[in-house]
Chain A
Amino acid sequence: MSSIRSNPEGLSVLDRPNSYIGKTVPRPNLDRLLQGRGCYVSDIELPRMAHVVFVRSPHAHAKIVSIDAAAARQMPGVNAIVTGKELAAVITPWVGVLSHLKGLKSAPQSAIAVDRVCWQGEAVAAVVATSRAAAEDAAECVAVEYQALEAVTDMRTALDPATPVIHASLGDNLAFERILDAGAVDQAFAGSDAVVEAEFVFGRHTGVTLEPRSVVADWNAAEARLTIYQGTQAPHMVQNIAALHLGLWEQQVRVVCKDVGGSFGIKVHIYADEMATYALTKLLRRPIKFVADRVESFNTDIHARDHRCKGKIGVNRDGIITAFEIDDLTGIGPYSMYPRTSAIEANQVVNLVGGPYTCKNYRARARVVFQNKNVMCQYRAVGHPIACSVTEGLVDLAAMKIGMDPVEIRRRNLIADDAYPCASPSGLRFEQLSHHASLAKIVEMMNYQALRAEQAELRKRGVHRGIGVASFIEVTNPSAAFYGVGGAKISSQDGVAVRLDAQGSVICQTSITEQGQGSESLTAQIVGSALGVSMDRVRVILGDTDATPYGGGTWASRGAGIGGEAALQATKILRRNILDVAAAILQSAPAELDIVDNAVVSAGDGAPRIDLSELARIVYFRPDTLPPGIQPELMATRHFVPREYPFAFTNGVQAASVEVDIDTGFVKLLKHWVVEDCGTIVNPQLVDEQIRGGVVQGLGAALFEKCVYDEKGQLTNANMADYLVPMSGEMPDIDVGHVVSPTRESELGAKGAGEAGAAGAAAAVTNAVNDALKPFGTTITEIPLTPQVILTALGRI
């Protein structure tokens, strides 16, 4: 394990005089966004720009017999109508597999369907016109003749011999299977005082970003360059893929990512309609805009979490957990998503189940099957909510079985805070976690004993409250182990360049991106702190492959931990370079100087020596006055990627207090608590709001959100009235506390915080609801916990 790197200046960045690290400071982009001066893709208007609307399949599975666009071509404002076959001339198909996910298979997917559609909503033709409205008018006139094919919809029968195989070339509907067997599971179950089993069912849901997916693609034939304006989390990944499939060099593709209205993992993938838009601009030689509407978003934005997972836990009377076993099944739609694949979620479930606990006996099977539904892929906290709900649901069932308090059983099984480094049965390596400190803290924050007393008192009066607890671990700061080792050109390293401008301000270019979580702010905070300049003198540039270093972007809770460390290291070099020049100008030694508040000062007494603006003036305009042999370098670049640990695991615990109306099945969320440990906290408010935002998405999963498909593969609630996103009116207060165990892989010590909230919220609520229902002898292991589900479980209807 690496130790804290020695600091050439002998100054820890965290205790510098004007440090912004660890402070809640306003985000630099706030005024711009609040004054309506943000620039989202739909704000971009280019000369000669046309709009594309996709004719989408109404069938889940069908042969395309014919496409008659003659009438539509005559409609006012129509530029072109392009089919999948025609588009194939400019863009090649792709297959979403990764070599480290052994056995994962998928079929070639085209930008626009050719001959066959595999889910309701897949594009069959592109209509390009002068406005979105004109394109929609024409799209209604494109006559597509389909021959319906049998749709594979139920994941439980997808592998049956009688079920049609969606892609004949693959032989069956099994995309991926993973089996893990650690310790001595059978022996452990046999020797347990009690064994409990349950099947956990999760509703398929989706991310519902406020701003839908949008692209403006502009092929400049004269320059032979493609510019893609897109709300994406990974500009360099988009650059690589667009170039690869359009037959271009990466340097011929520029990806510009301006403001993004939420992403949550939805915008980290390569979608067929976006690829089609890149191809259309090349084919038609004019800028093309695609902005998904809400119905399209529901039908084509990736879905997630559609799992059925059988779980089994062994426990002894003293509360010690003896073994975990799971059998997970998930249906991912007709293709594995490109390029991150749709096997990662199930793979994560296998990795993470039982993760917080000392138990070494663990067996798992996960199967990933194809179906004729929209594609599933990575969405905030990939796999974590499944793994956490299964694990924590089983732990509560075990506690109930032996009559032990849910907090107590966790106390007896969580990995000890001084047991690190250590590894999980699935091979995950933990550098330093703080399960016990976190549990102790949350018990205190929620006043657990008092809540239990109140619960007992109210129960006598027919009021049914429940308390639920869920410990969790979270994957953050991924190294190349996530995607790179599997052959995907998705960078796990990030780069930052910082330079002093001619007035002594700092320009910082970073490869991480901003989608609202505060990447821009945390970068400026780190640069300002490390250099000794005020934040308003730091300008951060992100989201442009022409203007930033090469890097991964913002996903998998990596922005602060990886991009932040690159910013810190780059700034330290710049600082050293500035002090070298200052020493030359001042005839001093770098070690005797420091930078505080935009000026070089004496390290000893803080006396001002030279303003950065004056230093910059000399360097840029009067270099002739510098001593001979001095060539100032007021720009520095550093990259960073974790190397010791494949992932920086974080941990935490969530708790929920709920009230169940046993006559109506309605659940009222009374309060929610989270304690998490993301290491060094750069900006407490940003971290807390990341946690709260994630919790709200988890609460959505617990109570509201579900993509409802019928047996024919039709998504029946693809609108904001029927697909229930969590809204503020139903949300409880969410108290957030922290334990801080910095990672020693970086000097900054920051791990990720973006997904912890989503990881454990549903588990805590489900456990709370089951706690409330305890007097009725029923347990529910299905989410969302709708009134219908609860009333049914209670036998009321």
Chain B
Amino acid sequence: MKASAFAYARATSVANALELLAVHGEKARVLSGGQSLIPAMNLRLVAPDLIVDIGELAELRGIAVRGETLVIGALTRHADLLKSSDIVKCAPLLAAAVAHIAHPAIRNRGTIGGSLAQADPASELPACMLALGASIVVRGPGGEQRMAAEDFFTGIYETRLAAQDLLVAVELPLARRGSAHFFQEFARRHGDYAIVGLAAQAALQGEGFADLRLGYFSVGDKPVLAKAASKLAGVAITPALLAEASDALSHELDPHGDQQATPAMRRHLAKVLLARCVASLLNRPDLHIGGVS
């Protein structure tokens, strides 16, 4: 369990990092927090020739509010998200989600950029990006571009990032008055990747939702922004309506099976989460299936 030999470069600037990536392309890998890359290298699942360590690029680190936008630098660590008062104020869903990522030692090193670039379909943050309507800011040989989170994740461990690209930041709209969030995941042990999880962001209006965005994770090869949510926006929620949305969700999802759960179990758990989410956001225990939990 030793990585095969590799060369190492510590990038001195974003431009320097981009230069190195342009020269080495597929043979190079960006090193951020290393919490996914290093285990994969030690297991010899990947064997890059060159590691481009971006750890010292202070310009990529930090959380800032710019006008109506919350900007989070790629190097911002999970632990930073958990502690930040800006996050609690402007994107509390993230704070709720990050607490479920792994354990303190890993949260102290792992970064948001790394997590999004890794694009593990069972990861919390990619689904949050969908729920929050985030833009992913990417710099590459052709300059800087913004991609909607919904377009960014393309498959298992796959994104629209090219080998020469660097993910530099994410931008989120600030949480508005009347917004509410829900986060829950089912994992066998604290800190494990979820069997199924839901990151939801809602705009409340009266007794119901003006808008509801449901970011499911671990339900297939990439995070899913459930279309079934549209059935629940702008209407009075009844158990019958919820059941209808639940059915729609079930049809919409095409979950994978693995050692933890069959596709049928994932569908079932996704429906349980939907009911718990709606019951919790609207404070309607009558909609909650499964008693107190």
Contacts and interface: CB of A to CB of B under 8 A. Distances in A.
Contacts of A726: 189
A132 B189 contact: no
A662 interface: yes
A353 to B, nearest CB: 31
A724 B188 contact: yes
A293 B43 CA distance: 10
B4 to A, nearest CB: 6
A666 B292 contact: no
Given A704-B189, A724-B188, A788-B261, 5 more contacts: A133-B3, A136-B1, A462-B290, A724-B192, A786-B260
A716 interface: yes
Contacts of B14: none
B268 interface: yes
B264 interface: yes
A796 B268 contact: yes
A797 B250 CA distance: 13
Given A704-B189, A730-B190, A294 B1 contact: yes
B260 A788 contact: yes
B7 interface: no
A42 to B, nearest CB: 13
20 contacts: A136-B4, A293-B1, A462-B292, A661-B290, A663-B290, A663-B293, A664-B186, A664-B269, A704-B188, A704-B189, A719-B43, A724-B189, A724-B192, A727-B191, A729-B191, A786-B188, A787-B186, A787-B195, A797-B262, A797-B265
A661 B189 contact: no
Given A664-B269, A727-B189, A730-B190, A787 B290 contact: no
Interface in A701-737: 704, 708, 716-717, 719, 721-722, 724, 726-727, 729-730
Interface string B220-257: 00000000000000000000000000000000000000
Given A787-B261, A791-B265, A462 B291 contact: yes
Contacts, number: 79
A797 B263 CA distance: 10
B265 A787 contact: yes
Contact of A132 (B2, B4, B260, B262): B2
A729 B272 CA distance: 23
Contacts of A589: none
Contacts of B193: 721
Judged by DSSP, the binding face of B is loop
A423 interface: no
Nearest to B263: A797
Contacts of B2: 132-133, 136
Contacts of A461: 291-292
Given A137-B5, A730-B189, A663 B260 contact: no
Interface in B35-53: 43-44
Nearest to B276: A663
A133 B259 CA distance: 31
B250 to A, nearest CB: 12
B259 A722 contact: yes
Contacts of B162: none
A137 B4 contact: yes
Report, nearest first, the 9 A-B pairs whose CB atoms are least far apart: A462-B291, A663-B290, A729-B190, A133-B2, A293-B1, A797-B264, A797-B265, A797-B268, A663-B272
B1 A295 contact: yes
A461 B195 CA distance: 27
B289 interface: yes
Contacts of B3: 133
Most buried by B among A136, A463, A663: A663
Contacts of A661: 290, 293
Contacts of A717: 259
A76 to B, nearest CB: 10
A294 B42 CA distance: 11
B261 A708 contact: no
A731 to B, nearest CB: 10
Interface in A750-797: 786-788, 791, 796-797
Nearest to A53: B2
Nearest to B1: A293
Nearest to A666: B186
B259 A295 contact: no
Contacts of B4: 133, 136-137, 140
B213 to A, nearest CB: 23
B292 A662 contact: no
A730 B186 CA distance: 13
B268 A463 contact: no
A312 to B, nearest CB: 32
A165 B114 CA distance: 50
A719 B293 CA distance: 31
Interface centre among A293, A664, A708, A791 (most CB of B within 10 A): A664
B259 A463 contact: no
Interface string B190-207: 111101000000000000
B189 A664 contact: no
A661 B272 CA distance: 11
Contacts of A722: 259
Nearest to A292: B1
A251 B100 CA distance: 56
